[in-house]
Structure 1
Amino acid sequence: MASDGEVKKKELQLTAAIGFEGNVLSGLHVHPDGTHVVYALGTDVVVMEVASGRQRFLTGHSHNVSCVDVSRCGRYIASGQINFMGFRAEVIIWSYDTLERYGSHNLHKVKVEAVAFSPNDVFMASLGGQDDGNVIVYDVATKDPLCGLKASQPTQGNSLVLKFCSTVDDTFVTAGDYTLRVWKIHRKKRFLAPSNVTLSEVKRKIRCARIDAVDRYLYCGTTSGDIMKVRLAQEPDQMPALVACLARTPEKKNKLTREGESYSLGIWSMLMLPNDEMLVGTGAGRVARLQESTQKPRNTIKLMKRVTDRLMDEVQCNTVQGRVTTLTADQSGRVYVGTADSHIYRACPSSIKLTLLRTGHPTEVKAVTFPRACSELFVTCAAEDTRVWHAASGQELLRMCVPNMVCQCLQVAADGSAIVTGWNDGIVRSYHPESGKLQYMIRDAHNRGVSALAAFSTGKILMTGGGEGQVRAWEIGCQTQTLRAALKEHRGSVTCLRLTGDDSECVSASTDGSCIIWDVRRFTRKTVLFANTLFMGVCYHPSEAQLITCGTDRKLAYWEIFDGSLIRELEAAQDGGLNAVDITPDGRFIVTGGDDKLLKVYRYSEGDCVFTGVGHSTAISSLKISPDMKTVVSVGTDGAILCWKMPGDV
């Protein structure tokens, strides 16, 4: 039987992931069963049941997933990744039924730009990024790369889009910056034959492409805000050629001055609809249903060096938050919209009435916390906003925004009456937790931003730490916020503040290599801890006789509060520093997270790591254990919020 020191590490169970990698073009897909959506989040591919929100994860990539596709029969999922410069980027095919790896190859360098399945799942093609530039065709049945070739000519730009035809397996299209090619796969000869589309004087940067149901026309959305209509070759001796550059019909007030209008910030996603209609998503967040106009304009239109006589009538439109990067639909016709701001919407194409399904942080999440004695809700903060989440469903309940600012820290009042936040403009903002309305503001709380917060259980005193190194105490009244004390001991930024249960002591951690324990009744220094590190996190043991710290030296340290002596040091990371630490209310387990992307659970008394959580694609910036000790929530610099099942007995 293994001793306590020989306990084998186990993996933490990931129960939920909040977030969506919205910057991945065509990164959201509806499974043909109509009940699940597939999307990328960090290093994982998430398969989520729409009705219940239950998630399953495809884990196997070493770095961020850069592209995703689902086969039309629903049997396979393909995903590609991005890697460091000089390294290979892997493409993985997953079996949907077993959620296990079916096949893979690593023939691309640095990044995989796009993946796509042929209509009958005979081939899977992948497109490399600008450091690779190759197209690789993979035989799904034999699990063998069939052939490959450069995606574009040396005089052309990078290829970014890859689409198969709707009816045939041996033809696909690549497009990108000033390049558009149609490819033919010769399976027996293991050969690719590309044909350049004749574009005359037209030069476009293509960001999305769709082929109609009968493979007659190809439609390409461009950064110029118009749509290129290309006739695909129907006969053996026929070459693909540009038919028109379609612009939308202008508004009535502009009909006298302009004959055609392009979409602001370009067209980034497209979807073909029945009755020869299409849905487009723009960089300005506009979702529009278009139909080719039957009426010709009064005069010839000249749009970006392309003379054409075609217009598109905008039948309906709506607006979402962020650039629209994905438009996809299920078999019943419901449309799913993904945006660069990590929002997922659902709509009926007949009305384009949007329903918000999931949200997430598009940027680094700075901090996370639970209200006292409440495990059903937690609060996170990131650039421009603070959000309240429902832990069980992962749904966003409330959002407080301050444009062009970054929320760096937050704290929930002990009685739940306020959500207090600290911002990089040096202002403390307090919000009502039910309505999200502003309660009060403390202006110029710190001249280099507010970096840490701690609130008394009575709610009458608020401790703040700043980028300049000061720790300040504020008396919070009904109408006033008064500075009680300014403690000027630290020489570096204050990274963490923690209070004891009786509000008699406060510990502050700083990047100057010191942790100071303060008597907050007299506002004097009691004890100082020094180490050769930048302290990033600190917490009290429930007995309040010891402190646990972590920092850039990769060590988890135990300290005696009475005299500031070091009791124990644990090497808690092999690569990168530790950014966050928390301890369970019963004092049995310590949880750490840092630059190595791993969440680790240590037994406090034995000092050994017993559980490891793998799921973050970038550094873990903050974490928190729920009051009922059943869940750990960790947040990262990639914007992901991961919920883990806290282990019981070991």
Structure 2
Amino acid sequence: MAPSLTIEKEFAQTSERVKSVDLHPTEPWMLASLYSGTICIWNYQSQTLEKSIKVTESPVRSVKFVARKHWIITGADDKFIRVYNYNTMEKIKEYEAHTDYIRSVTVHPTLPYLLSCSDDKVIKLWDWEKDWECTQVFEGHSHYVMQVAFNPKDTNSFASASLDGTIKTWNIGSSAPNFTLQGHSKGVNCVDYFVHSDKTYLLSGSDDFTAKVWDYETTSCVQTLEGHENNVTTVSVHPELPIIITTSEDGTVHIWNATTFSLEHKLNYGLERVWAIGHKKGSYKVAFGFDNGTTIVKMNASA
């Protein structure tokens, strides 16, 4: 029997278009990056704006906390990666990382590595202990690379989603992809891993209005999640609950049972298109970024 889920809204803030959100692992902070080029840290306990900084005139499409370094890392349409100390908001590093818009940055869970991907069709690996040297370039996609995600069970490997309609998996240190997943009829916007009963799966979301669940071992699609009425923008598995979350340009958040893949809840906060999801381990909170603001909800499961 699946647990029943109650969803309470804990924080809501209207703003300009939000492209990325992240929750700090220990502080009550939500980080949001805006299409206007600004990043903000909101304290969702006190419901106040802690810090805000204008990064660039271009959209900041991806922003991440690196708690072990007290950093914020941003990737923007001006092709630059920037690193800030989130206590002082001092800029630590700024460098031109790609030749086109940066779509996504993701931080290795333990090593001093950052992955970035771009409309220039490549993925780059950066080592901040080597003064942010680019130590590897991954080429193989034929269109914009929209998102990258590290494999939680094997952090030497990662997956990428591209508007060429494919998902690829890669190993650090190897230039060719391990395998390519094909099945979406349009571009793929997002990718995430999830582990269930010790099996590894990949999740993908596409402009074909669907999300797909892939068996990592057999590289086959085991389920197509249908129900959104526009492009699927983000996919995610909750770190504590057996649920899959998908968001869309249709303005809705769909919550699926991660075992049966049935649609359990459909949320619409009236903030237009949804662009981003943020989680934190050990918490039932989930942050969402929309065209018109941000929301944090708490998901409680009861047997």
Q: Deviations over 1:420-448 (max 9, x none)?
A: 000112111000021320011112x1221
Q: Deviations over 1:370-417 (max 9, x none)?
A: xxxxxxxxxxxxxxxxxxxxxx32332211222xx2111111112143
- Give the structure 2 partner of residue 532 of structure 1: 142
1:576 paired with 2:163, answer no
SS of 1:481's equivalent?
coil
**503 and 454 in structure 1: CA distance in 2 versus 1, 3 angstrom threshold:** farther
In 2: Cα distance, 1:456 partner to 1:487 partner = 18
**Contact preservation (8 Å) 1:416, 1:433:** no
The alignment-based identity, stated in percent, is 17
State the shift of 1:632 in Å: 0.7
In 2: Cα distance, 1:572 partner to 1:413 partner = 35
- Give the structure 2 partner of residue 508 of structure 1: 116
What amino acid maps onto 1:523 in structure 2? W
2:33 aligned residue (398, 405, 422): 422
In 1: Cα distance, 2:120 partner to 2:108 partner = 23
What amino acid maps onto 2:167 in structure 1? L
SS of 1:627's equivalent?
coil
SS of 1:638's equivalent?
coil
**Contact preservation (8 Å) 1:413, 1:459:** no
In 1: Cα distance, 2:114 partner to 2:20 partner = 17
2:24 aligned residue (387, 398, 413): 413
State the shift of 1:647 in Å: 2.0
1:393 paired with 2:3, answer no
TM-score by length of 1: 0.38
In 2: Cα distance, 1:584 partner to 1:459 partner = 26
In 1: Cα distance, 2:19 partner to 2:60 partner = 7
State the shift of 1:592 in Å: 0.6
What amino acid maps onto 2:149 in structure 1? C
Q: Deviations over 1:110-160 (max 9, x none)?
A: xxxxxxxxxxxxxxxxxxxxxxxxxxxxxxxxxxxxxxxxxxxxxxxxxxx
- Give the structure 2 partner of residue 264 of structure 1: none
**424 and 489 in structure 1: CA distance in 2 versus 1, 3 angstrom threshold:** same
2:232 aligned residue (612, 620, 630): 620
1:442 paired with 2:53, answer yes
State the shift of 1:516 in Å: 0.6
State the shift of 1:566 in Å: 1.5
- Give the structure 2 partner of residue 518 of structure 1: 126
- Give the structure 1 partner of residue 78 of structure 2: 468
**Contact preservation (8 Å) 1:414, 1:456:** no
**553 and 584 in structure 1: CA distance in 2 versus 1, 3 angstrom threshold:** same
1:611 paired with 2:220, answer no
In 2: Cα distance, 1:459 partner to 1:615 partner = 40
In 1: Cα distance, 2:199 partner to 2:162 partner = 20
1:546 paired with 2:168, answer no
1:566 aligned residue (177, 195, 205): 177
- Give the structure 2 partner of residue 601 of structure 1: 213
State the shift of 1:458 in Å: 2.5
Q: Deviations over 1:323-358 (max 9, x none)?
A: xxxxxxxxxxxxxxxxxxxxxxxxxxxxxxxxxxxx
In 2: Cα distance, 1:425 partner to 1:581 partner = 25
SS of 2:104's equivalent?
strand
**584 and 606 in structure 1: CA distance in 2 versus 1, 3 angstrom threshold:** same
- Give the structure 2 partner of residue 292 of structure 1: none
State the shift of 1:607 in Å: 0.4
In 2: Cα distance, 1:629 partner to 1:556 partner = 25
**Contact preservation (8 Å) 1:541, 1:587:** no
State the shift of 1:537 in Å: 1.3
**Contact preservation (8 Å) 1:426, 1:447:** yes
In 1: Cα distance, 2:241 partner to 2:128 partner = 29
- Give the structure 1 partner of residue 283 of structure 2: none
1:635 aligned residue (247, 250, 273): 247
In 2: Cα distance, 1:617 partner to 1:589 partner = 24
In 2: Cα distance, 1:609 partner to 1:629 partner = 22
1:454 paired with 2:64, answer yes
In 1: Cα distance, 2:28 partner to 2:11 partner = 15
**572 and 416 in structure 1: CA distance in 2 versus 1, 3 angstrom threshold:** farther
**Contact preservation (8 Å) 1:584, 1:629:** no
What amino acid maps onto 1:433 in structure 2? Y
SS of 1:393's equivalent?
strand
**525 and 648 in structure 1: CA distance in 2 versus 1, 3 angstrom threshold:** farther
What amino acid maps onto 1:576 in structure 2? K
State the shift of 1:491 in Å: 1.4
Higher RCO (CA-CA < 8 Å; seq separation 6+): 2
CA RMSD of aligned residues (A): 1.9
- Give the structure 2 partner of residue 433 of structure 1: 44
SS of 1:458's equivalent?
helix
In 2: Cα distance, 1:436 partner to 1:509 partner = 33
TM-score by length of 2: 0.79
**413 and 627 in structure 1: CA distance in 2 versus 1, 3 angstrom threshold:** same
What amino acid maps onto 1:466 in structure 2? A
In 1: Cα distance, 2:181 partner to 2:235 partner = 19
Q: Deviations over 1:1-49 (max 9, x none)?
A: xxxxxxxxxxxxxx9xxxxxxxxxxxxxxxxxxxxxxxxxxxxxxxxxx
What amino acid maps onto 1:455 in structure 2? F
In 1: Cα distance, 2:260 partner to 2:69 partner = 33
**538 and 494 in structure 1: CA distance in 2 versus 1, 3 angstrom threshold:** same
**Contact preservation (8 Å) 1:414, 1:458:** no
In 1: Cα distance, 2:119 partner to 2:159 partner = 16
**Deviating 4+ runs (over 6 angstroms):** none
Give the structure with the higher percent strand: 2
What amino acid maps onto 1:621 in structure 2? T
What amino acid maps onto 1:642 in structure 2? H
SS of 1:490's equivalent?
coil
